[in-house]
Amino acid sequence: MIAFCPMVKKFCLYMLWAIFAIRLLAGDLNFERGFSGNPVVDGWYADPQIRIYNGKYWIFPTTSDLFEKQLYFDCFSSDDLVTWTKHKNIICSGDIKWLNRALWAPDSIEKGGKYYLFFSCNDAYPVDRKGGDFTPRNTSDEKYGGIGVAVADAPEGPYRDLIGKPLIDKFWNGAQPIDQCVFEYDGNYYMLYGGWRKCNLVRLSADFKSIVPFEDGSIFKDMTPEKYVEGSVMFERKGKWYFMWSEGNWGDSSYKVGYGMADTPFGPFKREGAILSQDKKVATGAGHHSVLNIPGTDDWYICYHRRPIPNYHRDHRMLCIDRMYFEPDGKIRPVKMTFKGVAARRLRPCK
């Protein structure tokens, strides 16, 4: 056995404490008793959808990896926003026959005791985007894809493909069929979606198996606001509707979140500004988010992905949660990204 002198032992102890302190300040050991820390879970994930089901918090994210490896979804559940349980492979390539690459941007919603998972699949491209031919490709082409929908009896699955094909595979208005957000309004369900700087709104059938016309007979409505790129989010607060989206380039530090407000989800939505963007002291590439409201309160959270500093890979993205606050006039305050995360919070039982 090697014997170390007291001076060497003391030096080693100091070094260990120094390394610990540096990592803590850098956010690598981003925990504090009673807080979630950011990131909230281990591993590389992105595009999180946060929901509340059965008295628990749930996060449905993209597995952040090369498109060819992005062939499944995991999800996470928590009683308190701090301790998260991972549910692996709630749906994967064997469950979606038309999936061959790039499964991402899940959006979950409960209806009639069933749990529906809408998703983007195959990084769909038309026949000739540059030339202006937006006809969908042949179904055998690896670039054929769009927005799909799966169903399960529980939030953690297992999910099965509901219709065995894309719900939307067309490029209406030049919008790539990706990054969907499903919401209810006045007894009907709608889906906001889009990429390539174009955004559409469509109306869903009651069984979520098809798109149905609006009352005026149209199939889609162009909702594209200023600086929109992708990552649509829609929610209501105090009689106002908020449309949020991601701006910039998802692969670099220009990525951010903007928003607009209107009296109905049909708009029009004027851009109010950006509320989430890089902080060179914390992280970069912050965007593609979702929001959470604690039932019975006006307490709001934003769940989003961001890139660590330094960042060594395009797909090194991590899931984070921070508080989201509003001004008296309803506008959203800029979000402060933290390493601390959010305080533990259990949901009150439903009466």
pLDDT in tens, 274-306: 999 999 999 999 999 999 999 999 999 999 999
How confident is the model at residue 350, as a pLDDT?
60
Cα(177)–Cα(274) distance, rounded to whole angstroms?
Answer: 24
pLDDT, position 222 = 98
Whether the predicted pLDDT of 136 surpasses 90: yes
SS3 13: helix
For the stretch 161-196, pLDDT in tens is 999 999 999 999 999 999 999 999 999 999 999 999
Q: Answer whether residue 96 shows pLDDT above 90.
A: yes
| Structural domain contains residue 280 | yes
Q: In whole angstroms, how large is the CA radius of gyration of the chain?
A: 21
Cβ atoms < 10 Å from Cβ of 3: 6
Asked if the structure places residue 71 within a domain, the reply is yes
Residue 2 pLDDT: 42
Rounded mean pLDDT, 135-157: 96
- Lowest mean pLDDT segment, chosen from 16-25, 263-272, 319-328, 338-347: 16-25
User: Which domain covers residue 44, as residue numbers?
Assistant: 33-324
Query: At 159, which amino acid appears?
Result: Y
Task: Give the pLDDT confidence of 199-210 residue by residue, as tens digits.
Answer: 999 999 999 999
331 DSSP 8-state letter: P
Q: How far apart are CA 284 and CA 316, in angstroms?
A: 11
Mean pLDDT for 214-241 is 98
List of residues 6+ apart from 78 with CB closer than 8 A:
56, 57, 58, 59, 84, 85
Q: Give the integer Cα–Cα distance in Å for 30 and 264.
A: 40
109 vs 183: CA distance, rounded Å: 8
Categorize the per-residue pLDDT at 323 as very low, low, confident or very high, splitting at 50, 70 and 90. Answer: very high
Query: Residue 17's pLDDT is what?
Result: 43
Domain count, the chain: 1
Looking at residue 9, what is its pLDDT? 41
Residue 307 CB-density burial (10 A; 0-12 exposed, 13-18 middle, 19+ buried)? buried
- For residue 32, what pLDDT is reported? 73
Give domain status of residue 339, yes or no: no
Task: Determine, yes or no, domain membership for 251.
Answer: yes
Q: Is the pLDDT of residue 311 over 60?
A: yes
Residues 253-284 as b/e (b if ≥16 CB within 10 A, e otherwise) read bebbbbbbbeeebebebebbebbbbbeeebbb
Q: Which of 123, 161, 230, 272 is catalytic?
A: 230
Provide the token pair at 186: 């006045």
pLDDT tens-digit series, residues 38-52 = 999 999 999 999 999
Q: Which phi and psi (to 5°) does residue 74 adopt?
A: -105, 165
Percent of the chain with pLDDT over 90: 88
Residue 340 lies in a domain: no
Of 104, 201, 109, the residue nearest 147 (C-alpha): 104
Instruction: Check residue 16 and give its pLDDT.
Output: 35
**What is the chain's length?**
351
CA distance 250 to 258: 14
Distance CA 52, CA 309 (A): 31
Give the SS3 label for residue 334: coil
Which residues are CB-contacts of 192 (< 8 A; sequence separation ≥ 6)? 180, 181, 183, 199, 200, 201, 223, 232, 233, 234, 243, 265
Which amino acid would we find at residue 87? H
pLDDT at 348: 85
pLDDT at 110 over 80: yes
Q: Tell me the Ramachandran region of residue 231: left when phi exceeds 0, alpha when psi lies from -120 to 50, beta otherwise.
A: left
Q: What is the share, in percent, of the chain residues with pLDDT greater than 70?
A: 91
Q: Which residues pair with 189 in a beta bridge?
A: 184
Assigned domain for 332 exists? no
Identify the pLDDT of residue 30: 42
Q: Which two tokens stand for residue 128?
A: 């000739």
Give the residue-averaged pLDDT of 145-169: 98
- CATH number of the domain where residue 228 is located: 2.115.10.20
Q: Could you report the per-residue pLDDT of 112-131, keeping only the tens digit for each? A: 999 999 999 999 999 999 99
Q: What is the pLDDT of residue 5?
A: 52
Over residues 254-264, the mean pLDDT reads 98
Task: Tell me how many degrees the CA angle 157-105-335 measures, rounded to the nearest 5.
Answer: 115
Q: Tell me: the pLDDT tens digits for 17-33? A: 443 343 344 444 445 78
47 is catalytic: yes
pLDDT at position 253 over 50: yes
pLDDT attached to residue 312: 84
pLDDT tier, 349 (very low <50, low <70, confident <90, very high otherwise): confident
